[in-house]
Amino acid sequence: MEKSQEEIIEEMQKVVHQMVIDDLEENPDIANEYFDCDCCGKNASLAGSIQYGDYRLCNDCVLLAETGFALGKFTDIQDLMDAMEDKRLEELCKFIKNEEIRKTQLENLN
């Protein structure tokens, strides 16, 4: 019997959550190691992240990728990367805006 879409999503959520747990058990220091996700652009923990070819994806994006693969929504990671382009640009704009605010606050302190 084929799994329903909801069952596949639930299963992928459990698998991806377990990846974080496994990474933390294997190397507790990884909890304090961060990177910028190539997919969504967010600064995220290395715990539960995966390298797909040239791209390092955060745990949230791994969930999107693995669920998309399991549901047959796409067959290549580039499809997800293309779909997430606006999200990456949005995160970059947030970063730039926050840096400008931080710079202004530092200038006001001096």
Residue 87: how many other CB atoms lie within 10 Å: 15
Residue-level pLDDT at 94: 85
pLDDT at 4 over 90: no
pLDDT tens readout for residues 61-108: 999 999 999 999 988 999 999 988 888 888 888 888 888 888 888 888
pLDDT at 1 over 80: no
One-letter amino acid identity for 33?
Answer: E
Side-chain half-sphere exposure of 38, counting CA atoms within 13 A: 16
What's the rounded Cα separation, in Å, for the pair 57 and 59? 7
Q: Give, rounded to a whole angstrom, the gap between the first and last alpha carbons of the chain.
A: 68
Residue-level pLDDT at 95: 81
pLDDT over 90, % of the chain? 64
